[in-house]
Amino acid sequence: MNMFSENVKTGKRGRPQGQTSQGAASREHLYTIALRLIAKRGYEATTLRDIAKEADVSPGLLYRYFPSKQAVVLTLYDELSAEYARRAAEMPPGKWRDRFIFALNTSLDVLKPHRVALRALTSVLVGNPEEGIFASSTAFSRVRVQRVFESAITGASDAPKQPLAEALGRLLYVVHLAVLLWWLLDRSPGQRATSALVLLTKQLLPSAALAVRVPPVRRFIVSVDELMCEALLSHPTSG
Query: What single-letter DSSP state applies at residue 73?
Result: H
Q: Which CATH number fits domain 17-67: 1.10.10.60, 3.90.1150.10, 3.40.50.300, 3.10.50.30?
A: 1.10.10.60
Whether the Cβ atoms of residue 69 and residue 81 lie closer than 8 Å to each other: no
pLDDT at res. 143: 93
The residue length of the chain stands at: 239
Reported as type and span, the H/E element at residue 134 is none
Enumerate the CATH 1.10.10.60 domain ranges in the chain, comma separated. 17-67
CATH architecture of 70-231: Orthogonal Bundle (1.10)
Give me the pLDDT at residue 2, please.
Answer: 39
CA 197 – CA 201 distance, rounded (Å): 6
Contact between 153 and 170 under an 8 Å Cβ cutoff? The reply is no
Task: Give the separation between CA 146 and CA 144, rounded to whole angstroms.
Answer: 6
Residue 114 and residue 4: Cα distance in Å, rounded?
25
Position 89 scores a pLDDT of 96
- The answer for residues whose C-beta is within 8 angstroms of residue 34's C-beta and 6 or more apart is 46, 51, 66, 69, 72
Q: Output the pLDDT for position 7.
A: 36
Which parts of the chain register pLDDT below 70? 1-19, 234-239
pLDDT of residue 234: 61
Residue 30, φ and ψ in degrees, nearest 5: -65, -40
Residue ranges matching CATH 1.10.357.10 in the chain: 70-231
Which pLDDT belongs to residue 237?
41
| Confidence (pLDDT) at 130 | 78
Q: What is the pLDDT of residues 21-80, one digit of tens each?
A: 777 888 999 999 999 999 999 999 999 999 999 999 999 989 999 999 899 999 999 999
Report the first-to-last Cα separation within the chain, whole angstroms.
Answer: 45
How much is the mean pLDDT over the chain?
88
